[in-house]
Chains A and B, each alone.
Chain A
């Protein structure tokens, strides 16, 4: 793990000038912010919908999907997130964030954002005692021959994905990392390791989208 307490400067290779919001209602918010800053971008916790206006990308972190889902409804995040997601804002959902972004969930669940054309099974690997870590082959990230060490906590899995979804990593027959246009969907917790490659991949999506938006605006 990097020593966060004594680090004074970040590299500014990829993420320079970009602002990535982390939905800060519950869950692994600080950890994602740290990863964003290590990628050289600015990370901000988003507690109110107005905060979404100023970000180039958004991460919906892992946490308890029912708790985060209720707070999303309560504070009126659902419509602005959907609107910005549909107009191309890069959004990365991890674990609970993946569940909330999905179009459908197996079994009972609260309201979903429904942006991603995937069907998710919650707690697909079992209860807390069945949480685990595993080395994954991930397609499309830098240095992809090197396995990615992933942390799964009461993790969901994408048991079905639509035609527009590119699966980047699978485990036990289900997809655990996938991309659909401006959406990145992960079943595991990339913020709980020191491996920045998945976050860099997302930052790259954010950088390209921001460039596109600037050109489009001219």
Chain B
């Protein structure tokens, strides 16, 4: 049960321990954090199982690991290793341009990225047990995470205002499974948790995403690319728990060193944006 918590990207057992000690609810085991993947270029793949194994043996909190979009064999390997969640992630280089993994075939739960409601519902339709808004990974720039969360929230709000006869048209526009659209029009919320990811670098970033309606946050490069990872990790956990307490967020933000430098989205160029991988 990860709700209300912070999930941190880690690349070594030592980082995993820092994350657990800071109060992370889970860790994402990676070979490189997204900022380094972005810098390295080339093809990014599932991490070496030895890295994931070492992290699984170190912490008692759940361990997640990423497979490439559509790479069902990487997902099978991760499931066989016993990881707690598989992230079918746009941060890695997609393996299939047409299809995402059929997640119903797996026992292990999947988390998938989405930039809008249609994408979230398509992934849930494929069996995802958890959604995270994509943001723009490895940038330390929260603007895309905000855009995606606001988009999903307003699209959900709109669905609840529609009459039954309008729902098929809405499903067509969203390119989303009709049954999920109908359910959402009634409940006003996704049937799975929706975390925020991609660009969260400060305690205030994390608290903002919570106030915008996230069920929790993923922090990738933002922690271990900063000056004081342990202090920042701890501060982000506090800010996520007390996301409406501005005094506290200010207190925990003091003296935790510099955040990761970050990237302006416009400088990246649209063809290099990770969020448009997958559909």
Is the pair A123, B3 in contact by a Cβ cutoff of 8 Å?
A: no
A62 to B108, CA, bound (A): 20
> Does A27 touch B at the CB level, under 8 Å?
yes
Is the pair A26, B84 in contact by a Cβ cutoff of 8 Å?
A: no
Is the pair B1, A5 in contact by a Cβ cutoff of 8 Å?
A: no
> Does A153 touch B at the CB level, under 8 Å?
yes
Is the pair A63, B5 in contact by a Cβ cutoff of 8 Å?
A: yes
Is the pair A29, B23 in contact by a Cβ cutoff of 8 Å?
A: no
A residues 55-69 touching B (CB-CB < 8 Å): 61-64, 66-67
> Does A129 touch B at the CB level, under 8 Å?
yes
Is the pair A6, B186 in contact by a Cβ cutoff of 8 Å?
A: yes
Is the pair B189, A5 in contact by a Cβ cutoff of 8 Å?
A: yes
B252 shortest CB reach to chain A, Å? 10
> Does A127 touch B at the CB level, under 8 Å?
yes
Contact with A along B178-204 (1 / 0, CB 8 A): 000000001111000000000000000
Beyond A6-B186, A24-B4, A71-B241, 16 additional contacts (C-beta under 8 Å) are: A5-B187, A5-B188, A24-B241, A25-B241, A26-B5, A29-B4, A61-B1, A66-B20, A67-B5, A70-B23, A71-B238, A96-B1, A129-B79, A129-B82, A129-B84, A129-B107
**29 residue pairs from A and B, CB less than 8 Å apart:** A1-B187, A4-B187, A5-B186, A5-B188, A5-B189, A24-B241, A26-B4, A27-B4, A29-B3, A30-B3, A47-B242, A63-B3, A63-B4, A63-B5, A63-B25, A64-B2, A64-B5, A64-B62, A66-B60, A67-B25, A67-B237, A127-B82, A127-B83, A127-B84, A128-B84, A129-B79, A129-B84, A129-B108, A154-B62
Residues of B within 8 A of A (CB): 1-5, 20-26, 60-62, 79, 82-85, 107-109, 160, 186-189, 237-238, 241-242, 245
